[in-house]
Amino acid sequence: MTFPIDICEEAGVRTLHFGSDWIQGAMRIARPWHLELDYTKDMMASLLLREDARFPRKVLLIGLGAASLTKFLYRNCPQAKLAVVEIAPSVVAAARQFFKLPDDPKRINIVIGDGAEFIASTRQDYDLILVDGFDAEARAGDLDTRPFYDLCRARLSSEGILVVNLLGLKRGFKSSYARIEEAFDGRCLAFPSCDSGNVITFATAGDPVCVSLEALREEAHRLKKSTGLNLLPTLSRLEEAQSCAGGVFRL
């Protein structure tokens, strides 16, 4: 599959488009390793949810875009090996040429292919599966189906967490969330949408996640100090939405 690739720059930010106005990824040119878009920051809240300092060791990213998540994990989680599935070779080429995607096959395995087909064929378990795949019209296709979410569940390790970007501007996210909820027996939580309308959903089927918002804030301070990523606004939105009964995040 090929996408028409457009690269735009404004106010020091380079953006990736698939022949439409939808932003498929962004990079602040002066800070190429940092996360520019709010929803990508929300997705990295997954790093706060496990106490193991080695988490995550094996990561699957479905959808490369401008390689923002790939670069952040590569830079800040040196223990992690990353498998990235991207359906369009032109997106990989653009990520290398314009968005500083590292060339390190020992830690980053780029697979050109369909994410749903990959998850159905692999036998590898992952600590973290990040799903952020859309076409030029912001459609996720087979990446937003009950069979796909069932397969993601089967490929998570005992500590594994699934993180899905549900783009909620056009058709709403409730039906997508319901499919995840069914696949994971209710063990999922949608973060309040950020300004772009993206709703990030977390799910697990293994070891329980049970951590107070206070502990999450403490961990967020440590993550900010070590990586520059500030997740405190994300946690404030979560608290204001009263999504965590008793001030405890549970999955």
Q: Give pLDDT tens digits for 131-144.
A: 998 765 566 778 99
Mean pLDDT across 197-224 = 95
Residue 195 pLDDT: 75
Partners of 250 in the beta sheet? 210
Residue 49 pLDDT: 96
Mean pLDDT across 205-216 = 95
Residue 169 pLDDT: 47
Residue 114 pLDDT: 95
Which own/partner contact pairs does 47-52 have at CB distance under 8 Å and 24+ positions apart? 47/77, 47/223, 48/211, 48/216, 48/219, 48/220, 48/223, 48/231, 49/161, 49/202, 49/209, 49/211, 49/249, 49/251, 50/127, 50/159, 50/161, 50/209, 52/159
Whole-angstrom CA distances from 23 to 9, 26, 122, 136, 214 are: 12, 7, 30, 9, 34
**Alpha-carbon dihedral angle through residues 176, 204, 128, 86, given to the nearest 10 degrees:** -20
Contact 189, 201 (CB under 8 A): yes
152, pLDDT greater than 90: yes
Residue 110 pLDDT: 98
126, pLDDT greater than 70: yes
Residue 156 pLDDT: 98
153, pLDDT greater than 80: yes
Mean pLDDT across 227-238 = 95
Q: pLDDT tens-digit profile of 166-210?
A: 875 456 688 899 999 999 999 999 998 877 778 999 999 999 999
Residue 201 pLDDT: 95
Residue of 132, 135, 150, 207 marked catalytic: 132
Residue-averaged pLDDT of the chain: 92
Rounded Cα distance between 145 and 164, Å, is 12
Residue 137 pLDDT: 58
247, pLDDT greater than 50: yes
Rounded Cα distance between 63 and 56, Å, is 18
Of the ranges 7-16, 145-154, 202-211, 240-249, which one carries the lowest mean pLDDT score?
A: 240-249
Contact 237, 217 (CB under 8 A): no
Whole-angstrom CA distances from 151 to 122, 144, 202, 246 are: 10, 12, 15, 32
Which structural domains are found in the chain, ordered by start? 6-250 (3.40.50.150)
Residue 242 pLDDT: 84
Q: Judge whether 132 counts as a catalytic residue.
A: yes
Mean pLDDT across 44-55 = 94
